[in-house]
Each structure stands twice: as C-alpha cells, then as structure tokens.
Amino acid sequence: MPVGKVVIIGSVAFDAIEGPGGSVKDTLGGSATYASYAASFFAPVGIVACVGEDFPQDAKDVIAERGADLSGLARLPGRTFRWAGKYAPGFRGRETLKLDLGVFASFTPVLSGALKAEDVLLLGNIDPDLQLKVLEQAGDRAFVAADTIDHWIRNKRESLMKGLARTDLFFLNDEEAELLTGESNLIAAGREIRKMGPRNVVIKKGEHGAMLFGEGEMAALPALPLEQVKDPTGAGDVFAGAMLGYIAGKGKGRSGALREGMARGIVMSSFVVEEFSVGRLRGLKPEEIDRRLSRLRELVRF
Amino acid sequence: MPVGKVVIIGSVAFDAIEGPGGSVKDTLGGSATYASYAASFFAPVGIVACVGEDFPQDAKDVIAERGADLSGLARLPGRTFRWAGKYAPGFRGRETLKLDLGVFASFTPVLSGALKAEDVLLLGNIDPDLQLKVLEQAGDRAFVAADTIDHWIRNKRESLMKGLARTDLFFLNDEEAELLTGESNLIAAGREIRKMGPRNVVIKKGEHGAMLFGEGEMAALPALPLEQVKDPTGAGDVFAGAMLGYIAGKGKGRSGALREGMARGIVMSSFVVEEFSVGRLRGLKPEEIDRRLSRLRELVRF
C-alpha cells in the first residue's frame, strides 16, 4: 500500500500559559507546531502556516528538527500569533486570557502543489472559511482530516458544515460534539455527526480516552493513566497529528489503520502533556512510544 | 481452581423512578436484587437481606427465578424498603425524592454459616457499621468485596475505613473516589484508595467505563455504546454482581479473573439500563452476553 506524507495547515504561535503545572511565557505552540511534531514520528510532514518577523530562528529550528518540510511556513510582516490562557484547578476547563492573531489574521494558506492520493491533509483548528479555501486547492484525492473548536461551531457553523461534506476524518471533543448536535449522549452525537458528512469521526474525551465512529466500525480506547500533567495545551493537536502520521505512514486504506492510528494519538498525547510546549516530544525515542503502546494494550486486555 | 458461590448482603426494595426514560412506581429494586440477578449468570448466589410483610410472592419469585438461595431473605414485621428518585435530563445526576427504610432500619444481617475460601462476599452499599458486623461473621478466608455511596463517605467515614482494611475489592464511582480522597485525578485517587486497605479498587465511570487498580496491574475498559438508556438504577449493583459472579465461578485466584470479571460487569450493566428493574436481565440468553463481550473486545482492539 503506497505511503504518503501529512500536510498540516494550522497555526504556529507563542503561548503564555498559567495553570496547576506552572506558568510559562513566550513558549512555542500552535496547532501546526504540535501536530507536525507528533506526526513526524510516523510519516514525512509538511507545514502550511505563517509566522511574523519576530519569530526567531531557534524556534524555527525546533519545528524543523524532525525533518518537517517548512517551505510552506511563510514569514510575514507583523507579529507572530500569540495566545494566553489559564487552566482551572485540576485542569477542569480553561479560559483564554488574550488572543492576538498577528500575521495570522490576514493569512491565506496556499498548498505548494497537488496532493497525491496517498497523502493526508490535516486542516488544523482554523477558521472554517480558511479550511474551505485549502480544500479547494487540495483536489479530491487526498485523505482529508479536520479539527475544530467550539468557537467555530458557534460562529461559523455554515462554513464548517460545508467542509464536513468533504472530510474523511473529523476530530472534536465531547463538549464540541454536544454543541454541534445538541445530543448529550456521545454515541448518538457521533452518529449524528457522521450524517453531516465525515466518513469517520473521532470524539476526544481527555482523561477518558477517545472514540472512533467509522464505516461499520466503532472503537473506544481509554487514555493512558497519568498522575502528573503539566500542561494539556496541544494535546488534541498531537492526538490528530500522531493519528494522521500513522495513517499516512502505513497506507490509509490499510485495515485497522484508523484504530491503530487512534492508539498512537492516545500515546503521543500522553507524552506531550508531561511538559510545556513540545518539550517532552523532543528527543522522544521510538522505544518509549512502543512501551506506552504496550501499556495501552495491557490496559484493555481481557 | 475451586469455584465458589457469591453471598450478597444488600437491600431488596420497591423503587419509584422518574426520568428521561419514563416513570414507574413500586418496581422491584434494591442492591441485593440487582447484584444477585446479575451474579446468577456466572455462579451460585445467596442473598442476605430483608423484606416487609407487604412484599408479594410474585416479587420474591422474580428474585428466585434464576436459582438464588433465598434462605437468608428475612420477612420482618413492617414495610419493605422504598426509594423514590428522579433523574435529570440526559441522566446527569439524580435526586432522592423519598427514602423509607422500613424493615431495613432495624435489620441486622446474619450469615447462615461460615464462608469457604473459594466463596465471595459482596457487601452491597449499606451502612458501613452493618458491613462491619457481617465482616465479623465472615471469617478471614472468603474474598470480600464492598460497595458504597457518597452518603456513607460523608457520614460514616470511620466505619467505612475500618472495613476497607479487610476488603479485597472495593467498588466506587468517580465522584465518590474524589470525595473519599480529595483527588480530582482518578489515577491518583485509585492509588490513594488502595493505600487505605483494599487490595483492588474498581472506579466506575458510567458512560466512560471502568478502571481497575490491582496489585501490580491496572485495567481500563470503555462502556459499551448505548443510545437508548431507560433507567440507570442498579447499574452499579449489576456491575459488582456480575464481576463477582465471574470471579466466584472461575476461581478467584485465576490469572486475569479481575479484568475478565470487570468486562462482565460492563456487559451486564449495559443490559440492565435498557429496561426498568431487572426487566432486561429476565430471560437474557448466554448468547446475548457473549455477543456483547465480543463487541467490547472489538471496541478496544488495535
């Protein structure tokens, strides 16, 4: 089965984070940063994103250090996207303190070339109108995955729905699934969302793991037990990036690729929350990933 | 490995239930009813409980129809325990509208004879002081499991803690685990509770499944996907009864018995919530149980 690359459209940002795990400022973040770093463990990766003139070389070096193709990372006049957020005790909910889109406000993502049938496109959680613009360029051959957040469900529902019709795999969390469907039962919500277009839906449930609603299949895996969480920022992006990296790297049509990919998503997100930014993923060894995969298998064995 | 029976101490009650799945009155309930009915699919069962003079023969026939030993079901002067409760929309939380202990108020459970090493004792969620009285009679050979509710954690913590030291398997739900330990992280809570005495702890998470914290092992299984829930009353008792029935029926020392039992708990509780009372368990066929076990295995396969 031909293997492809993962092309990730998303943000590259600087985050300021306060929470039970401590506080950091000007730390490297953004959905494209997190997702590409995670995906790179499983497949070749390319990024389509933008940064401002204030973006330093050493931050770019971090994103590049696992071989991601950064030819689609535009450097634009202005400031890099900045986000400041605060987590509640026990990481129950978070609040956005400040959001400065900077160069991202006027960014139009451009794919450098046609995607091949074996490639995977991840539309990170950006404005659904931008997602649609990328979809127009993507052709109809690549496997398309999309992520979103509650903000777009509330404010750009129509554009979001248009994109869903062309989505092979849609990621959202449990609260977003309820917001999108009005269904408090996640099983009913998952089925409803599939009716909106996406062939496969993954509902992320944080510490409770994730569920996959596919064509004639359903999967549910628990999260890995973690006692020490430092920062959950980016966990969803890492989940998506790892899952898609696995799918691209193994051949998207391979039987079981989705559920195997979901397991990689769970494992990689269990690492990233242990440190701020992509700190825990830097220098992560394949054996460490394998060990957590074994732990996940052991957890659900009966 | 010698197989044993499950002896269940708990309540036999009449429930009045209002909720999203409809309303019923005078429906057969109680922790011993639910747990014994579920356990009977996997092992011989005996009940130690009491009813009032108002308890009709046909209700007793229901409890007996799968062969449970009812010689420990006392008929006492007065009324049978009655509970009335109301579920919130989406079954998010429930409220006790009325609680009339009736004959249960002055009931002292008495075991009819010594338990054998291969037997399993389930202390259903009754007053921890009563649980202690049963423990005194039980000797130190049988496998002891105990269930509780938030009410006892709040009001009888000291007695509860005494019993925990002699408990092989302790059941509680996620909210109760946080209440007991002050830990919002369930993994930390599970470990804390094991330090209080029980060799194994199961934290039930409703629609998110259940976790087992054992000696050198941890397991986490999702719940079975259910779109139609009629009444979650008794689901926790059925979970415990099925798990212990499996453990007693297979031999408690058998490797994997706890996690295999937990899978049976998840399967049997997925049935009971589909109807009021034990309606869905009556006439349930072994093939139906096997099919849901296969579905659970398929759900977590990767």
> How far apart, in Å, are the Cα atoms of B37 and each of B107, B235, B268?
22, 12, 10
- Tokens read off for A152: 């777009």
- The predicted-structure confidence for B221-260, as pLDDT tens digits, reads as follows 999 998 789 999 999 999 999 999 999 999 877 888 999 9
Q: Name the nearest CA neighbour of B104 among B86, B85, B77.
A: B77
* pLDDT for res B64: 96
Helix (H) or strand (E) holding B21: none
* pLDDT for res A17: 97
Q: Does residue B182 surpass a pLDDT of 80?
A: yes
Q: CB distance from A297 to chain B under 8 Å?
A: yes
Using the beta-carbon criterion (under 8 Å), do A300 and B226 form an inter-chain contact? no
Q: CB distance from B218 to chain A under 8 Å?
A: yes
DSSP output for chain A: -----EEEE---EEEEEEETTEEEEEEEE-HHHHHHHHHTTTS-EEEEEEE-TT--HHHHHHHHTT--EEEEEEE-SSPPEEEEEEEPGGG--EEEEEEE-GGGGG-----SSPPPTT-EEEE-SS-HHHHHHHHHHHTTTSEEEEE--HHHHHH-HHHHHHHHTT-SEEEEEHHHHHHHH--SSHHHHHHHHHHTS-SEEEEE-GGG-EEEE-SS-EEEEPPPP-S--S--TTHHHHHHHHHHHHHHHH-TTSTTHHHHHHHHHHHHHHHHTTSSTTTTTTT--HHHHHHHHHHHHHHH--
CB atoms within 10 A of CB B253: 12
Q: What is the DSSP letter of B224?
A: P
Query: What is the Cα–Cα distance from A208 to A203, expressed in whole angstroms?
Result: 11
Using the beta-carbon criterion (under 8 Å), do B302 and A299 form an inter-chain contact? no
* pLDDT for res A243: 98
Provide, as residue numbers in chain B, all residues whose Cβ is less than 8 Å from the Cβ of A202. none
Provide, as residue numbers in chain A, all residues whose Cβ is less than 8 Å from the Cβ of B300. 219-221, 300
| Number of cross-chain residue pairs from A and B with Cβ atoms under 8 Å apart | 91
Amino acid at residue number A127: D
Query: What is the Cα–Cα distance from B122 to B144, expressed in whole angstroms?
Result: 6
Q: CB distance from A290 to chain B under 8 Å?
A: no
* pLDDT for res B2: 77
Give the sign of the dihedral formed by CA A292, CA A268, CA A192, CA A214: negative
> Best interface-test mutation with B: which of A218, A227, A230, A300 has the largest number of B CBs within 10 A?
A300
What is the rounded end-to-end Cα distance, in angstroms, of chain B?
32
- The predicted-structure confidence for B98-141, as pLDDT tens digits, reads as follows 999 999 999 999 998 878 889 999 999 888 999 999 999 988 88
Q: CB distance from B114 to chain A under 8 Å?
A: no
- Tokens read off for B93: 């939380």
* pLDDT for res A251: 84
Q: Name the nearest CA neighbour of B94 among B269, B212, B262, B235.
A: B235
Which ranges of chain B does DSSP label H, i.e. alpha helix? 31-39, 57-64, 128-138, 150-155, 157-164, 174-181, 186-195, 235-250, 257-272, 286-300
Residue of B nearest to A204 (CA): B208
- Between B208, B225, B300, which is nearest A300 by CB? B300
* pLDDT for res B113: 80
Question: ipTM score of the complex?
Answer: 0.89
Using the beta-carbon criterion (under 8 Å), do B225 and A187 form an inter-chain contact? yes
* pLDDT for res B201: 98
* pLDDT for res A126: 87
Quote the mean pLDDT of chain A.
94
Question: Coil, strand or helix: which one is B57?
Answer: helix
Q: CB distance from B299 to chain A under 8 Å?
A: yes
Q: CB distance from B88 to chain A under 8 Å?
A: no
- The predicted-structure confidence for B29-54, as pLDDT tens digits, reads as follows 999 999 999 999 999 999 999 999 99
* pLDDT for res A254: 81
> Best interface-test mutation with B: which of A203, A208, A221, A273 has the largest number of B CBs within 10 A?
A208
Q: CB distance from A300 to chain B under 8 Å?
A: yes
Mean pLDDT of successive 10-residue segments in chain A (302 residues)? 90 97 97 97 97 97 96 96 94 90 92 88 92 91 93 94 95 95 92 96 95 95 91 96 96 87 98 97 97 98 96
- The predicted-structure confidence for A178-209, as pLDDT tens digits, reads as follows 999 999 889 999 999 999 999 999 999 998 99
Query: What is the Cα–Cα distance from A67 to A65, expressed in whole angstroms?
Result: 6
- Tokens read off for B152: 């006892």
> How far apart, in Å, are the Cα atoms of A31 and each of A14, A242, B18, B191?
11, 13, 45, 34
